[in-house]
Amino acid sequence: MLSGSWAGSLLARASERSEDPLLAGRPLVHYPEKAGLILLTSRPPQLETPMRYFDRAITPNEAFFVRYHIFPIPTSVDLATWRLKVTGAVEHPLELSMDDLRGKFAPASVVAVNQCSGNGRGHFAPRVFGGQWSNGAMGNAEWTGVRMQDILKMAGLKAGAVEVTFNGLDEPAAPTVPDFVKSLGVERIMKDPDVLVAHKMNGEALPMLNGFPARLVVPGWYSTYWVKNLFEITVLERAFDGFWMKTAYRIPDTPCGCVEPGTQPARTVPINKMNVRSFIASPADGATVRAGRVTLLKGIAFDEGSGIRKVEVSTNGGHGWQPAELGRDLGRYSFREWSARWTPAKAGRYQLLVRAVSNRGESQATEPLWNPGGYLRNVIEHVEVRAV
C-alpha cells in the first residue's frame, strides 16, 4: 500500500531547534499523508504541529494536528460502501453516500479554527494529567461540505427532538471503554448554518487522520465536538449522557472556566466556546536575530467567532506595547494573521510577547488561568530571542 515516492528508513536528523523543554525527547514523525509532526503519543495517535506553521492563516492539510481518544482508529474507508446514517427521532432515516452529500445538498464552506480543548495543557502549573500538548494542537482550514441543519431538514425532525449525537469509525479497545460519541443541541444546529458535515479540507479530501471521509465542523467551539470519520448521526428526544459529554471535557461553571490552582470546581459544564488567543510564530523561540536590523514579527490570533479587534506586541518583556498590523480577514472563525516590524536596538536577550483583544472585548491575561482538566489555556504568549 505504499504510494508515490514516499519510502522511509529509520533516520535521525536535526530538523527543528526548540527551547521548549516540554518538547525535549519528542521525535518529529511522518505519519500517513502528513509532513513532519511532533509525536505526543502513538496509540491512539496524538501529533502536534510545529509552531513555525502559524505564521500564516491557513494550516496545510499535511501539517494539521491529529488527535484520537480510543483505539482502533479507522485506517481504510471505501466510499463505495461508506454511508452516513441519520437515525433516531426523525421522520425519514437516511443513509447518505458521498455522492449524496455532494449532489443532494447545497454546498457550504467556512474557514474555521480547530483547536484541541487541551492545547497548551503541558504548560499548566501546577501540571495536570492528560494529553501533554505544547501549543501546536490547533489549525485553521477552509472546510467544505453540507450544512448539518440541511441534513436534519431532509430527515425531518420529530417534535420531541432535543439533541443529536455524532459517532465516528474509531472504536473502543474493549466493551468497557466508552465509545467516543459527542452531542450538540438541536436548537444550536438549526440556528447555526456554519455547523457542517465537511468532506473537504482546504479544497481536498480529508486526510484519513483528520476525518476521511467526513467530519463534523463546529466553528468557534473546541475540537472535541468535531467528530471525525463520521458514520452515524442519531437524533435523541432526551439529553445525551455518554461518558465523553457527561464526565469528560467538563469545565468549571465559572465566568472564566477556571478555579484557584490545585482546587476542584463546585459545578461543571461541558466545554464549549474557545477563548481569545494569540501566538508569535516568527521569530521562533530561541532564534537569533540581527541587532540594528528590522525583524518582522509574525503570528496569528483567533477567538470564538466575534473576530479579532486588535493585536499588540511587546519587545521588552511586557513593559511597553505597540499595535501590530492585522492581515486579511478570512472570516470571524479563522486565524487572523498579524505582523509587526521590530529593530532590536542592541545585542542581547529579548522577550517578545503578543496579546489580542476580540471584537466582543475579550482580552488575555499575564497570569494563566487554571482548571483541573487542563482546558481553556489562553495566557499571553511569549518567545525569547537573542539579538547579535
Partner 1 sequence: MMKRGIIWLIAVGLAASALAAGKKSIMLPPDNAMATLKDGPGVKVARANCVACHSTDYIVRQPPSSLEQWTAEVNKMRKVFGAPVNDADAKVIAAYLESAYGEPGKVAPAKRPSK
User: Which residues in 66-105 contact partner 1 (CB under 8 A)?
Assistant: 71, 73, 75-80, 98
Min dist CB 130 to partner 1, Å, is 8
Task: Give the integer Cα–Cα distance in Å for 360 and 191.
Answer: 20
Q: How many Cβ atoms sit within 10 Å of the Cβ of residue 365?
A: 11
Single out the residue of 6, 75, 18 nearest to residue 48, CA to CA: 18
- What phi and psi values does residue 3 have, to the nearest 5 degrees? -120, 155
Min dist CB 310 to partner 1, Å, is 20
Min dist CB 79 to partner 1, Å, is 4
* N-to-C CA span, the chain: 49
Interacting residue with partner 1 among 93, 107, 160, 262 (CB under 8 A): 262
Nearer to partner 1, 34 or 182 (CB): 34
Cis peptide bond N-terminal to 213, omega within 30: yes
Min dist CB 286 to partner 1, Å, is 8
Interacting residue with partner 1 among 5, 21, 255, 260 (CB under 8 A): 21
Interacting residue with partner 1 among 5, 103, 126, 346 (CB under 8 A): 126
Which neighbouring-strand residues pair with 120?
none
Q: How many residues bind partner 1 (CB under 8 A)?
A: 80
Query: Counting contacts by CB under 8 A, is residue 263 touching partner 1?
Result: no
Query: Counting contacts by CB under 8 A, is residue 343 touching partner 1?
Result: no
Task: Give the integer Cα–Cα distance in Å for 280 and 262.
Answer: 29
- Judged by CB under 8 A, the chain residues 232 through 261 that form the site for partner 1 are 243, 247
Min dist CB 214 to partner 1, Å, is 12
Give ∠ CA 273-276-282 in degrees, rounded to 5: 135
Task: Give the integer Cα–Cα distance in Å for 114 and 61.
Answer: 12
Query: Counting contacts by CB under 8 A, is residue 33 touching partner 1?
Result: yes
Nearer to partner 1, 120 or 307 (CB): 120
Nearer to partner 1, 31 or 231 (CB): 31
Nearer to partner 1, 121 or 336 (CB): 121
Min dist CB 1 to partner 1, Å, is 5
- Judged by CB under 8 A, the chain residues 285 through 304 that form the site for partner 1 are 286
Of the listed pieces 12-20, 112-120, 181-189, 298-306, which binds partner 1 according to CB under 8 A? 12-20
Query: Counting contacts by CB under 8 A, is residue 269 touching partner 1?
Result: no
Interacting residue with partner 1 among 60, 232, 318, 326 (CB under 8 A): 318
Interacting residue with partner 1 among 5, 91, 103, 125 (CB under 8 A): 125
Task: Give the integer Cα–Cα distance in Å for 67 and 315.
Answer: 34
- Judged by CB under 8 A, the chain residues 205 through 234 that form the site for partner 1 are 205, 208-209, 212-213
Cis peptide bond N-terminal to 172, omega within 30: no
CB-based contacts of 249, cutoff 8 Å, min separation 6: 117, 222, 224, 270, 271, 373, 375
Residue type, 382: H
Min dist CB 279 to partner 1, Å, is 15
Interacting residue with partner 1 among 43, 153, 158, 293 (CB under 8 A): 43
Which neighbouring-strand residues pair with 358?
308
Q: What would the grid cell of residue 273 be?
A: 466556546
Nearer to partner 1, 5 or 328 (CB): 5
Min dist CB 348 to partner 1, Å, is 12
- What is the total residue count of the chain? 388
Query: Counting contacts by CB under 8 A, is residue 36 touching partner 1?
Result: yes
- Judged by CB under 8 A, the chain residues 187 through 206 that form the site for partner 1 are 205
Q: CB of 342 within 8 A of CB of 297?
A: yes
Q: What would the grid cell of residue 100 be?
A: 449524496
Single out the residue of 202, 224, 221, 198 nearest to residue 211, CA to CA: 198
Query: Counting contacts by CB under 8 A, is residue 317 touching partner 1?
Result: yes
Biggest alpha carbon distance in the chain?
71
Q: What would the grid cell of residue 289 be?
A: 536575530
Query: Counting contacts by CB under 8 A, is residue 60 touching partner 1?
Result: no
- Judged by CB under 8 A, the chain residues 141 through 180 that form the site for partner 1 are 173-178
β-pairing, 381-387 with 348-358?
antiparallel
DSSP 54-65: GGSSPPPGGG--
